[in-house]
């Protein structure tokens, strides 16, 4: 694969570009690499197919509707793998991780269904910020194999595009400008807080993050202690006030 497009994107001066311009540049890179489809979304672990989370993208006609209708988000190995993997990964890697999962047969049906829409293979590049997982760039279509160095370049492209587009749309604050909350939270604690704010139970959070409900409860005890919260609802309220979650 020619890395030139990825490198050109990373060298772009965004200061005079609008969000629309950046999206066009991102689409050009993805086309040049050979992927047919992509989506750049916010906090994919926290939601199930909410269209307002999509910053930009293009998918085969009918696939987003089918994905939501069949509730694939609940078993999607790419979303679930984000709870384990902090780097870019292929769809096949995520599928292999859950091959023996209780939802294994349904996952296989999801991939078979996706192929009917031209989604043969792809990659996911998570974007992390001070508050933990912020979003992801997913690319797919016909099979394209990326080397380890190309995956790293794509990770950098995903991160730069995500923050630039989100900030331009007025829905994110640059990481460097976030105020200090005075509370030191680990990345996992912040992800747990986000899921708690979405109303998930310990069991649901554990399934999403790849943890047991007991481990989630252990994290929650630590979070409540750091925030001096009386209970979980109080912890969420305090986290919002301190800017830990939004």
83 pLDDT higher than 80: no
Predicted confidence at residue 246, as pLDDT, reads 61
Q: Which of 196, 75, 188 is nearest to 133 (CA)?
A: 188
Is residue 196 within 8 Å of 236, Cβ to Cβ?
A: yes
- What would the pLDDT profile of 166-187 be if each residue is shown by its tens digit? 887 666 544 443 444 567 788 7
**What's the maximum distance between 2 C-alpha atoms anywhere in the chain?**
55
Predicted confidence at residue 197, as pLDDT, reads 85
Q: How many CB atoms lie within 10 A of CB 69?
A: 10
Question: What is the CATH code for 179-241?
Answer: 1.10.10.10
Rounded to two decimals, the pTM is: 0.72
Predicted confidence at residue 142, as pLDDT, reads 94
Class at the top of the CATH hierarchy for domain 4-175 = alpha beta
Predicted confidence at residue 131, as pLDDT, reads 62
Question: Average pLDDT of 6-26?
Answer: 91
- What would the pLDDT profile of 114-170 be if each residue is shown by its tens digit? 999 999 999 999 998 766 778 899 999 999 999 999 999 999 999 999 999 988 766
Residues in the chain: 246
What are the DSSP calls for 164-176, one per residue?
HHHHHTTS---GG
Q: Give the percent of the chain with pLDDT over 90.
A: 43
**Domain spans, the chain:** 4-175, 179-241
Is residue 209 within 8 Å of 79, Cβ to Cβ?
A: no
Taking the C-alpha atoms of residue 72 and residue 98, their distance in angstroms, rounded to an integer, is: 14
């Amino acid at each position: 694969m020619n890395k030139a497009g990825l490198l050109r994107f990373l060298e772009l001066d965004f200061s005079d570009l609008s969000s629309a311009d950046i999206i066009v540049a991102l689409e050009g890179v993805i086309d040049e690499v050979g992927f047919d489809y992509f989506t750049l979304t916010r906090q994919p672990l926290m939601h199930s197919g909410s269209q307002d989370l999509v910053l930009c993208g293009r998918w085969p006609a009918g696939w987003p509707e089918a994905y939501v209708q069949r509730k694939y988000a609940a078993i999607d190995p790419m979303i679930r793998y984000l709870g384990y993997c902090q780097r870019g990964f292929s769809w096949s890697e995520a599928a292999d991780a859950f091959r023996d999962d209780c939802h294994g047969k349904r996952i296989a049906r999801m991939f078979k269904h996706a192929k009917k829409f031209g989604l043969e293979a792809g990659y996911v590049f998570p974007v992390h910020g001070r508050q933990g997982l912020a979003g992801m760039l997913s690319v797919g279509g016909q099979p394209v194999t990326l080397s380890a160095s190309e995956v790293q370049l794509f990770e950098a492209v995903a991160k730069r595009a995500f923050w630039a587009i989100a900030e331009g749309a007025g829905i994110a604050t640059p990481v460097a400008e976030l105020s200090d909350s005075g509370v030191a939270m680990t990345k996992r604690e912040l992800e747990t807080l986000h899921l708690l704010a979405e109303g998930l139970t310990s069991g649901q959070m554990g399934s999403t993050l790849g943890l047991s409900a007991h481990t989630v409860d252990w994290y929650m005890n630590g979070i409540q202690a750091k925030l001096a919260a009386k209970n979980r609802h109080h912890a969420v309220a305090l986290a919002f006030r301190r800017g830990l979650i939004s």
